[in-house]
Amino acid sequence: MYQNRTQTLSFHQKNNLFYITFPSFDKTDLVNHCFSTRLGGVSKGIYESLNLGFGRGDNEENVKTNYKILCSAIGIDYNKLIFSDQVHGKKIRVIKKEDISDNFNFIKYSKEIDGLATNIPKIPLITFYADCVPLFFLDPVAKAVGLAHAGWRGTVKKIGLEMIKIFKKEFNSNPKDTLVGIGPSIGKCCFEVDKPVVDEFEKIFVDTKNIIYSQNNGKYVIDLWKANEKTLLEGGILPSNITVTDMCTKCNKDIFFSHRGHNGKRGNLAAIIELK
């Protein structure tokens, strides 16, 4: 049932745990990273079973246990996790040495932040999802990593471009060296919106071909993957360095938490990355 359904992602299984990585990132052997599924944890009910979201009503000890399970599987230190506190904006925090402690860093370093970046090894960054687009960044030359949470608002605000700017400024990164993975999220098959959302995209994207599609019911669907890909290309990322998912979280709600697919009654997925 849980075989690899895509050619752009790698699925990994350890006991009941399933998680996803990008082959392009794996080949560098520079990072530990993954995008979680909902499979392999201890949470119950609507959070079954690998819920990684605090503050959604799940038992906090279950969430911590889920992190321990996942962190152990991918080889990162549970106690050093740096979390985001997302508000659908485009602010990115660069994690530096003074931000680091040895006891489960949650929120205090990242209030109202939708992106995290660092060039410090062994510092795992975490961002949260349940239909929004996860953007993974790795510059193997400058030795820097980042994560950006791109819901439709973050996509319109071009948070991907903001990360590229941060990489240049903070890490002297060349966009041509940077690898980007666009992870599982709601696809154009399921992301139906009304005209006001379309208007926001048309204000920002000069060319909305392959992004916005009109429907017979007077509504529209938007391809967030393509919109983010265009933004990354605008920022100088090479087409060959971008991996675009083909897995929709709503279509695959047996594997993923989906806000739309589960009518808001769900846990959270997480993107995780660290330099080794």
**pLDDT at residue 250, rounded to an integer:** 98
DSSP letter at 69 equals H
**pLDDT at residue 3, rounded to an integer:** 44
pTM: 0.96
**pLDDT at residue 110, rounded to an integer:** 59
Tens place of pLDDT per residue across the chain (276 aa)? 344 445 689 999 999 999 999 999 999 999 999 999 999 999 999 999 999 999 899 999 999 999 999 999 999 999 889 999 899 999 999 998 877 766 665 544 557 899 999 999 999 999 999 999 999 999 999 999 999 999 999 999 999 999 999 999 999 999 999 999 999 999 999 999 999 999 999 999 999 999 999 999 999 999 999 999 999 999 999 999 999 988 999 999 999 999 999 999 999 999 999 999
- Measured CA to CA in angstroms, residue 158 lies from 72, 84, 98, 168, 208 at distances of 33, 18, 28, 16, 14
Class of domain 10-185+241-275: alpha beta
